[in-house]
Chain A
Amino acid sequence: MTTLLEVKNVSKQFGKDTKALSNVTFSVKEGEFVSVIGPSGAGKSTLLRCINRMVDTSSGEIIFDDNYVHQLNKKELKKVRTKIGMIFQHYNLVNRLSVIENTLHGRLGYKSTLAGALGLYSEDEKLQAARILQILGLEEQIYKRSDQLSGGQKQRVGIARALIQDPKLLLCDEPIASLDPNSSKIIMDHLRNICTSMGITVVVNLHQVDVALKYSDRIIGVNSGKVVFDGTAKSITSNDIHQIYGSDEGKLIFDLGGSHVS
């Protein structure tokens, strides 16, 4: 399998002395399902946002699909971003718009400013949006306003918006942190399914170790802005988890999560 994403020696500094990331290096192959885990404030969100340059890196290289992301100009960056879908913890929908309008927002990156500003979508795009929503189980809600949906449904709209971009990579920033266990399972099942049956690479930030172990091919552990673990889900040991979370916390989490894995 070819390498889709390479992160090399990436560091990020906020202000003078807050170092969010230091010398982060890893790579992701095409079709892989990778989870980034670590305690809150470890720099997971920043790391994810560096990949599509929602946050600029201070130093280091990011290579996505043979593009040197950190060197691109504005126009080229926008083109690369169309190939990277993003899913957020708080869904980030325009609440007053309908489900299908929010889904179609995923096409805006492909449009000229004029067509985008006027919100002109072709019949094919609308049909495609409907197909995706149908697969995600939202066909009844197509014209419902987004603020009338449940959290799990909103996140599925978020997924639909990312999928209609026709992305190669999906970045998911804590996609289930605001959801109940039942909805969380549905969202994670969808993400796994997107990875397996569509071959889209998924990088997901999680803080639930058990979920990460259950769904991912590979796990990257981050603590205080550094990568402290990088390996398959099967190879991770309780010692590694202690390292990622700091010993006491790690023990607690692993004990809770362990039962699901075995």
Chain B
Amino acid sequence: MSADVFAKKRRNSLLLFLIVGVATIVSIIITEYNVAKGFTSVPKAVQWALSNFYPTMDSLAKLPDILVKLKETLLISIAATTVAAVLAFIFAVLGSNTTKVNRFFGSISRGIAILFRNIDVSVWSMVLLFSFGQSSFTGYFALFFGSFGFLTRAFIETIDEVSGSSVEALQATGATYLTVISQSVIPSTIPQMISWVLFMIETNIRNATLVGLLTGSGIGFTFNLYYKSLNYDIASLVVITIIISILCIEFISNYVRRMIL
């Protein structure tokens, strides 16, 4: 009997490995991925980076320009996240099983959130480029839509997890719907929600770089400009400023999380 169990387990693992192996080979073929080149290009890239990809004294002259763009990108990321968070909260309250008004609105708001969450910011930015051009709006709305979808799901989970029982207690006292939301749901979920918002700001700064590349705005555009004109020293300076700002935000959010949770 027990030998059988072991054999079956081994057979299952073997099958799984086989499936993964076949899928890998198929993927390599259809994506035209060159395995040998994959291995050799890593040391080549490192070598290239060490000899070219660092800022020089001359590139520091561009720092003020870079910082202006970086500030713009940071502000867009923050503004998109906060406004999306407010809207996401409303949708999460309607979509959560604990606080939904009725089943119809619940399904509608969850459906909208699924739609927005699964259309990537890159797609949004290409669509919005048609109507908003290269203004800040394009990046703003692209990030806004993506954040809205993601935060709605996160907030729904938070509300269901944290505030279910106290909502029942407040309903039993005869409090109105909005009173229950503001006295029970908000106080019990706000630390987690802020935590999610901070996480989203961090993600959005990274996404903003991508959106900037696609739409020709913000820090992504600045990078692309110097990258395409082979000014790798300045491009590396752009990357360093992005790293520093993301690490700073990560540090701040960890600190805030420790304070509020």
Partner of A119, one of B169, B182, B188: B182
**A216 an interface residue at 8 Å Cβ cutoff?**
no
Interchain nearest-CB distance for A85 vs B (Å):
8
Range, interface on chain B:
20 to 34
Q: Which residues of A contact B172 (CB under 8 A)?
A: 52, 54, 81, 84, 86
If A78-B174, A96-B188 touch, whether A86 touches B169 (CB-CB below 8 Å) is: yes
**B55 an interface residue at 8 Å Cβ cutoff?**
no
Partner of A116, one of B168, B169, B179: B179
What residue in chain A is nearest B163 (Cβ atoms)? A94
In the assembled complex, the Cα of A108 lies from the Cα of B172 at a distance in Å of 10
Give residues of chain A (93-128) contacting chain B, Cβ–Cβ below 8 Å: 93-97, 105-106, 108-111, 113, 116-119
Q: Which residues of A contact B173 (CB under 8 A)?
A: 81-82, 85-86, 105-106, 108-109, 161, 165
Give residues of chain A (74-93) contacting chain B, Cβ–Cβ below 8 Å: 77-82, 84-86, 88, 90-93
**A119 and B183 form a contact (CB under 8 A):** yes
What residue in chain B is nearest A146 (Cβ atoms)? B166
What residue in chain A is nearest B260 (Cβ atoms)? A96
**A82 and B174 form a contact (CB under 8 A):** yes
Main secondary structure of the interface of B (DSSP, over half): helix
Q: Which residues of A contact B163 (CB under 8 A)?
A: 94
If A79-B174, A118-B182 touch, whether A88 touches B169 (CB-CB below 8 Å) is: yes
Range, interface on chain A:
20 to 34
**A117 and B183 form a contact (CB under 8 A):** yes
Give residues of chain A (139-165) contacting chain B, Cβ–Cβ below 8 Å: 158, 161, 165
Q: Which residues of A contact B133 (CB under 8 A)?
A: none
What residue in chain A is nearest B169 (Cβ atoms)? A92
**B170 an interface residue at 8 Å Cβ cutoff?**
yes
Q: Which residues of A contact B168 (CB under 8 A)?
A: 54, 88, 92
If A108-B183, A117-B182, A118-B182 touch, whether A94 touches B166 (CB-CB below 8 Å) is: yes
Per-residue 0/1 for B171-195: is the Cβ within 8 Å of any A Cβ (1 yes, 0 no)? 1111110111111100110110000
Q: Which residues of B contact A52 (CB under 8 A)?
A: 172
In the assembled complex, the Cα of A9 lies from the Cα of B155 at a distance in Å of 42
Interchain nearest-CB distance for B98 vs A (Å):
12
Q: Which residues of B contact A93 (CB under 8 A)?
A: 166, 169
**B183 and A92 form a contact (CB under 8 A):** no
How many A-B contacts at CB < 8 Å in the complex? Answer: 88
Q: Which residues of B contact A109 (CB under 8 A)?
A: 173-175
Give residues of chain A (41-74) contacting chain B, Cβ–Cβ below 8 Å: 52, 54
If A86-B169, A105-B169, A161-B169 touch, whether A94 touches B174 (CB-CB below 8 Å) is: no
**B56 an interface residue at 8 Å Cβ cutoff?**
no
In the assembled complex, the Cα of A108 lies from the Cα of B165 at a distance in Å of 17
In the assembled complex, the Cα of A90 lies from the Cα of B165 at a distance in Å of 8
In the assembled complex, the Cα of A96 lies from the Cα of B181 at a distance in Å of 15
Q: Which residues of A contact B182 (CB under 8 A)?
A: 116-119
Q: Which residues of B contact A85 (CB under 8 A)?
A: 173
In the assembled complex, the Cα of A52 lies from the Cα of B175 at a distance in Å of 13
**A94 and B188 form a contact (CB under 8 A):** yes
Q: Which residues of B contact A80 (CB under 8 A)?
A: 174
In the assembled complex, the Cα of A97 lies from the Cα of B191 at a distance in Å of 12
Q: Which residues of A contact B183 (CB under 8 A)?
A: 94, 105, 108, 116-117, 119
Q: Which of A52, A81, A95, A105 has the most CB of B within 10 A?
A: A105
In the assembled complex, the Cα of A67 lies from the Cα of B182 at a distance in Å of 29
Q: Which residues of A contact B178 (CB under 8 A)?
A: 113, 116-117
In the assembled complex, the Cα of A119 lies from the Cα of B170 at a distance in Å of 13
Q: Which residues of B contact A96 (CB under 8 A)?
A: 187-188, 190-191
Partner of B179, one of A90, A106, A117: A117
Q: Which residues of A contact B190 (CB under 8 A)?
A: 96
In the assembled complex, the Cα of A171 lies from the Cα of B163 at a distance in Å of 21
Q: Which residues of A contact B176 (CB under 8 A)?
A: 78, 113, 116
Beyond the given A77-B174, A88-B168, please list 5 additional residue pairs across the A-B interface where CB-CB is below 8 A.
Answer: A94-B166, A105-B169, A117-B183, A119-B182, A165-B174
Chain B contacts to A: CB under 8 angstroms? 163, 165-166, 168-176, 178-184, 187-188, 190-191
Nearest 3 pairs between A and B by C-beta?
A109-B174, A116-B179, A81-B174
Sample of 18 A–B contacts (CB below 8 Å): A52-B172, A78-B176, A82-B173, A85-B173, A93-B169, A94-B184, A94-B187, A96-B190, A105-B184, A108-B173, A108-B175, A109-B173, A109-B175, A111-B175, A113-B176, A116-B178, A158-B169, A161-B169
